[in-house]
Amino acid sequence: MGQDRRLTRRGFVGAAAGAAAAWYAAPAGGAVPSRIGSNPFMFVSPRITPWVDALPLLDRRAAGGELVAATARHRFHRDLPLSPTMGFGGQSYLGPVLEAHRDQAVTQTFRNEIGRHPLADHLDPTVHGASVLDRTRPRLTVHLHGGLTEPGSDGHALATTRSGGTRVHHYGNAQEAAGLWYHDHSMGVTRLNVYAGLAGMYLLRDEYDTGQGTNPLGLPAGEYEIPLVIQDKIFAKDGTLQFRLATYVAEGRWEGGQAGDVPVVNGVAYPYHEVARGLYRLRLLNGSNLRAMMLSFSNDMPFWVVGTDAGLVDAPIETRRIRLSAGERADIVVDFGALPAGTRVQLRNTDRLTAQFQIAVGDARIRDIVQFRVGAARGWTKPVPQRLRGGAGQPPALPPNGAVERVRTMTVMELPDGRRWPPAVMSLNNLGFDTDDVEMIPVQDDRPVYERWDILNLTIDDHPIHLHIALLRVLERQTMDVLRYIGANPRPGYGRRWAPPAERFKRGAPAAPQPWEAGWKDTVYAPPGVITRILVRWPSRAEMGFDPDAPFSVPSTVAGGAASNGFQPTEVCRLSATTQPEVDQARGYVWHCHVLDHEDHDMMLPVRLV
C-alpha cells in the first residue's frame, strides 16, 4: 500500500491503463454486477438483485419549524443489512420534501443531533476546514440550493454547528416556483455528509404551479408528481454503505472524486414503481457526489422537459434524453399512457465517466436506475400542456437576456500537490478559499446586474459550476487549445489569480446550449477543454429585500479570525476544540464546483454583493 502511494500520477495512470474496465451491457434481469471489469485498484459492491424493492415515496411536509439532523440506520436494499447513515426530520436517510409558496416567508431551524459520523474512517483531517473532531462530533450547515436567501441563512461553509447546536434560517421564498434542494455544506466534509444522507428536496409553489390537481398549467399533480433523488453508492463486502473508492489511496484520505457502482433512488437501490396509464411529472435531482448522468428510457420513448433548475420553461421541450450533472435538476413529464398494461420500462443512464476516471478506477458504469411497471388503471389523462408561460393563467414568458455589464474569466484547474496522495488540489483561478482576492459584484437597488462569465475548464474532468444566489443561463460552449493557452500564459505560484482571457485560443465554432438547458439555472455543466459562457443575473436589492453583504456569525474555531473580507480560515480549523463560540463574522456567498469532492478541496471561492 505504501509503495502504491509513492507512485507519481503519470506512473499510476500508466500502470492502471492495462486494468481499465471493458464496456459491459447489464442483463435485463437477475443480479447486476455493480462495477464493470476487474480493476485491482478499485472497490466493488456486492452483486445486487434489481427491481425487488418498491420505490419509496418521500415524505412531504410544509417548510418551516425545526428539522433535526441525526445519525440513523437505513436499509438500501432487501438483501443488504442496515447501514449507518444520516437523515433529516426523523428520516433514516435523506430528508422530507419541504413545500413552500412564493413570497410566503418561513423560518426553518436546523438542529444538529448527529452522533459519531457513519463514515468517520473516511474523513481526511488534512483537508481545508476539516478536523479529527468531525469524526465524533460532525459539523452541520444547510444550504438551500437555488434559493434567494439572505447571507446568514444561506448555509455558508463556515457557518457550522456541532452536536446540540441549532441555526435558524429565514427563507423569503421571493422567487418563482421551482424544484430546489437542501443539503449540508460544511467546509471540508460536505462530500461525506451528503453521501451519508444529509440532503432533501424543496418544492417552491406559486399561484400557477400550485402542486394541486386544479393547477392552471395542467401539470400532473398529487400521486402523479414524484420527486426522484438519484445518487450512486458503493457498498462494502458486508453490505454496509462505504465511501472509499480506490485501493491505492489510504483509508482516511481525500480521493479526488467518488463514483459509486450502484444506483440509489430515494434511498433504495434499483427500485421499481407501479404507474397508471397516463402522464407523470418526475422531479429529478442528480444528488450524486460526482457522477453526471445522461438519462433516457430503455424503450427510447420521448418525454417533455417542463422546467430546469430555477423554474418553468416557456413551453414543454420534447426530447428523448437529458443530461444532469451533480447538483442539477430537471422537471419532466412522461406519458405512460402510450404504453400497454404490463410494460416494464427503465429510466436509464448512458453517460460514462471521463477517460481519466476510467483509467484510474475502472468504468464504474451505472445503467438502469429505476423500473416503471405500467398497470391497467387510467391515471392523469389530460394532455401535455402546449405552453407554460406567457398565456392566460400562466407566469410571464422568460425575459430576453439582459445587457452584459462586465465579462469575467474564470479558470477551473487541477494542480499538483506533492504534500499528499492523491497528489492534487482543485482550484478556481489558481486561488484557495482563504484568498483575499474576492469577486466583488456591484449590486443595484432597483435593477438586476448582468455579467458574462467565461468558465475555462483546463482539466480533463467534468465540472458542474454552481453560483449561490445568482440565476444563470447557458450562452454557448466553445472548445479551446488548452496547451497553447497554458504555454502562452505562465502560471504564477498558487494563491495568485491566474485567469487570462482565452479569445486567442478558441477552436471551431461555438455550440448552442442543449434544448433542455433553456431557461434559468443555478448549476451549469462545464466540459473539459471547453469555454462555457454563461449569463449571470445578480438580483437587485429590491428583489432580495435584504442586505446581501450583511455580516453573520461563524464559529471562531472554524473561521480562525475575521479579516476585512470575512474569509480567513487558518490552521485553527484543525484544532480539536470542543466548543464553538460564535465570535467571528463572515460576509457574502460562494461559488464552486458541485463535484462535492472538489468543493471540499478546494474548488470553492467567496463572492460578495456590495
Q: What is the pLDDT of residue 15?
A: 30
Give 27's pLDDT tier (boundaries 50, 70, 90).
very low
Which grid cell is 483?
Answer: 496547451
CB 143 within 8 A of CB 182: yes
Q: Is residue 159 scored above 80 in pLDDT? A: yes
Q: What is the pLDDT of residue 580?
A: 42
CATH fold of 53-378 reads Immunoglobulin-like (2.60.40)
Q: Is residue 175 scored above 60 in pLDDT? A: yes
In whole angstroms, give the CA distance from residue 142 to residue 168: 10
Q: Is residue 13 scored above 60 in pLDDT? A: no
Q: What is the pLDDT of residue 427?
A: 97
Half-sphere exposure of 96 (CA within 13 A, CB side): 15
3-state class of 408 per DSSP? Answer: strand
Distance, first Cα to last Cα, the chain? 50
CB 132 within 8 A of CB 122: no
Give 25's pLDDT tier (boundaries 50, 70, 90).
very low
CB 239 within 8 A of CB 22: no
Q: Measured at the alpha carbon of residue 468, what is the angle toward residues 464 and 473, in degrees to the nearest 5? A: 60
Q: How many CB atoms lie within 10 A of CB 27?
A: 11
Burial 270-307 (b: 16+ CB within 10 A, else e): bbbbebbbbbbbbbbbbbbbbbbbebbbeeeeebbbbb
* Backbone CA torsion sign across 134, 137, 139, 142: positive
Q: What is the pLDDT of residue 407?
A: 98
Q: What is the pLDDT of residue 252?
A: 94
Over residues 419-432, the pLDDT tens digits come to 777 788 999 999 99
- Give the residue-averaged pLDDT of 455-482: 97
Over residues 105-140, the pLDDT tens digits come to 999 999 999 999 999 999 999 998 999 999 999 999
Q: What is the CATH number of domain 406-541+590-605?
A: 2.60.40.420
CB 590 within 8 A of CB 157: yes
Residues 6+ away with beta carbon under 8 Å from 495: 430, 431, 432, 435
Write the secondary structure of 66-86 as one string of H (helix), E (strand) and C (coil). EEEEEEEEECCCCCCCCEEEE
In whole angstroms, give the CA distance from residue 290 to residue 135: 22
Q: What is the pLDDT of residue 416?
A: 87
**Which residues of the chain does CATH 2.60.40.420 include?**
53-378, 406-541+590-605
Q: Is residue 557 scored above 60 in pLDDT? A: no
Give 8's pLDDT tier (boundaries 50, 70, 90).
very low
Q: What is the chain's Cα-based Rg?
A: 23
In whole angstroms, give the CA distance from residue 243 to residue 74: 15
Over residues 443-453, the pLDDT tens digits come to 999 999 999 99
In sequence order, what are the beta bridge partners of 304? Answer: 318, 333
Which grid cell is 525?
Answer: 455543466
Q: What is the pLDDT of residue 39?
A: 66
Q: What percent of the chain has pLDDT over 70?
A: 87
Which grid cell is 158?
Answer: 463556515
- 571 versus 190: the higher-pLDDT residue is 190
In whole angstroms, give the CA distance from residue 347 to residue 372: 8
Q: What is the pLDDT of residue 431?
A: 96
Q: Is residue 311 scored above 80 in pLDDT? A: yes
In whole angstroms, give the CA distance from residue 129 to residue 120: 15
Of the listed ranges 163-172, 283-292, 353-362, the one predicted with least confidence: 353-362
Give 318's pLDDT tier (boundaries 50, 70, 90).
very high
Phi, psi of 493 (to 5 degrees): -60, 155
Q: Is residue 239 scored above 50 in pLDDT? A: yes
Residues 6+ away with beta carbon under 8 Å from 148: 172, 173, 174, 175, 469, 539, 543, 544
Over residues 383-401, the pLDDT tens digits come to 999 999 999 999 999 999 9
Of the listed ranges 4-13, 420-429, 438-447, 516-525, the one predicted with least confidence: 4-13
Summary mean pLDDT of the chain: 89
DSSP assignment string, 481-548: -HHHHHHHS---STTS------GGGB-S--BPPPGGG-S-BSEEEE-TTEEEEEEEEEPPHHHH-S-T
Q: Is residue 10 scored above 80 in pLDDT? A: no
Q: What is the pLDDT of residue 360?
A: 61
Q: Is residue 438 scored above 70 in pLDDT? A: yes
CB 349 within 8 A of CB 232: no
- Give the residue-averaged pLDDT of 355-375: 79
DSSP assignment string, 115-128: -S-TTGGG--TTST
* Backbone CA torsion sign across 344, 347, 351, 357: negative
Q: Is residue 220 scored above 50 in pLDDT? A: yes
Q: What is the pLDDT of residue 1?
A: 30
Q: What is the pTM of this model?
A: 0.91
Q: What is the pLDDT of residue 421?
A: 74
Q: H helices of 426-488, where?
A: 482-488
